Chain A
Amino acid sequence: MTEEIKLREIVLPGQEIPLKGLRPGQGVVVEKGRAYSMYLGVKSVKDGVVSVTPLGGRYLPKLGDKVVGKIMDIGPTYWLVDINAPYVAPLHVNDVPWRVKEGELQRYLDIGDLVYVKVSRVSEVGQTWVTMKERGLRPLRGGFLIHVVPTKVPRIIGKGASMIKLIQEGTKCKIVVGMNGRIWIDCDPEKTMLVIRVIRMIEREAHTLGLTERVKKMLGMGVGEVGGDKANG
């Protein structure tokens, strides 16, 4: 498995990227026939296109991403949702699963409420629209919200959502992970703290092997009885 994964080079802003017949893609600028990286990021080649994905920073919305947002403002026919991106994203009344009468938006979602939504459109300049019309998308009532670096989200979800499923089974908590680095946890306080400790551990040690085993150990799984209260310390 590890053999298939090719090591990708880390590049710096302004570093020249040899094209060698490849086309420049995302994160690459061409000036006077030579290509340069725009980001501190990883270089990747796919279908004859070289691109650079930034390693850190803000969440950049991508079509189809499911994110955790916060209602910032209410307009006549839409809510404005902060999704931790450069722009706030409007959520139109036609994009929610309820029939909302004009002027009654506040009865459904109020300022400060959390929502689990999907990015439905991204314009060239980065303006983003979100929707709640899909199974699983919903307002998130109660619970607790934490933030992680968006680039580490895939590690928290795990291959085929294995990691997040493990945490959910081990704690019986409701957990929603947004691609924008926001994680919502609904549980009793002790379990919530445990989940946060596990997520912080994954975030810190995302690059190491045997992560799943350590997560299991923290959750008190696979060592006799599952997660007794004492195991949570």
Chain B
Amino acid sequence: MEEIKLMDEEGRRIDGRRPDELRPIKMKVGVLTRADGSAYLQWGKNKVLAAVYGPREVFPKHLQDPERALLRARYNMASFSVEERKRPGPDRRSIELSKVISEALRAAVFVEQFPKTSIDVFIEILQADAGTRIAGLVAASAALADAGIPMKDLVTGMTVGKVEDTLILDLCKEEDNYGQADLPIAIIPRTGEIVLLQMDGHMTQEEIDRALDMAIRGAMKVYEIQKRALLERYERLVREKEYIADISEV
């Protein structure tokens, strides 16, 4: 393969960003009427839709837990989400991502409040361009909040990577494919807990320490975007005193 130059002499990245610059992120909450909660996220060229159903009765019934709710997330890529058509249906990668995303969300949700139920999260990747597991997780946690599910805090995340021996934030497709390492991380900002941490490639211990630091700072920016998207949904209500008073009386 011909060598790709991922960073120029001035330290600019392949798409013109600085090492610690994020891709543009847009988010909208409450986009689906049939789901209990939903969110749509555009993160660079990623397009992600998340829907939440529940808490509801568990099917199949033998999976139900008498002490807590079952939180099941399903990460799925649309066949048209990548350049070469993806064969539809779960594969090894999406099963793994569903698992790690479920575990990350479970850490933030008060699952003990709804014993014997399940909370189902569906994450559909409509268009992929690196960092979809974090994008999916970020959208899913906003959708959970939209569904009125009790949570410790929103879950937020970020990816750090290494190209040309430099640490960079929020990798794009080329950097992900031809870079030296990438490390997605998800956190619960309020408690500082790390709920997801994976790595591909090689980094020194010192690099990992710095990478985590960078990622957490980046994730906090995403956190602000999530919060704004949630508030925007009810912005009209903030202005309308009467309606707010009405619903809280119930």
Q: Does A228 contact B (CB under 8 A)?
A: no
Are A38 and B151 in touch, CB under 8 angstroms?
yes
Q: How many A residues touch the partner, as a band? A: 35 or more
- Which chain B residues numbered 64 to 88 have a C-beta less than 8 Å away from chain A? none
Residues of the B chain whose Cβ atoms lie less than 8 Å from the Cβ of A2: 241-242
Q: A125-B115, A155-B246, A207-B236 are contacts. A58–B147 as well, Cβ < 8 Å?
A: yes
Residues of the A chain whose Cβ atoms lie less than 8 Å from the Cβ of B146: 40, 56-57
Binary interface encoding of chain B residues 141-185 relative to chain A, with 1 for a CB under 8 A from any of its CBs, else 0: 000011111111110000000000000000000000000000000
Report how far A62 CA is from B249 CA in the complex, Å: 13
Report how far A36 CA is from B237 CA in the complex, Å: 22
Are B151 and A154 in touch, CB under 8 angstroms?
no
Report how far A208 CA is from B154 CA in the complex, Å: 30
Binary interface encoding of chain A residues 120-156 relative to chain B, with 1 for a CB under 8 A from any of its CBs, else 0: 0000011000000000000000000000000111110
Are A5 and B242 in touch, CB under 8 angstroms?
yes
Report how far A125 CA is from B190 CA in the complex, Å: 26
Binary interface encoding of chain B residues 47-77 relative to chain A, with 1 for a CB under 8 A from any of its CBs, else 0: 0000000111100000000000000000000
Q: Which of B121-129, B132-140, B227-235 touches A?
A: B227-235
Q: Does B44 contact A (CB under 8 A)?
A: no
Residues of the A chain whose Cβ atoms lie less than 8 Å from the Cβ of B148: 39-41, 54-58
A to B CB contacts below 8 Å, 14 in the list: A8-B248, A13-B154, A14-B151, A40-B145, A40-B234, A44-B248, A53-B248, A87-B57, A88-B57, A126-B115, A154-B249, A155-B247, A179-B250, A207-B243
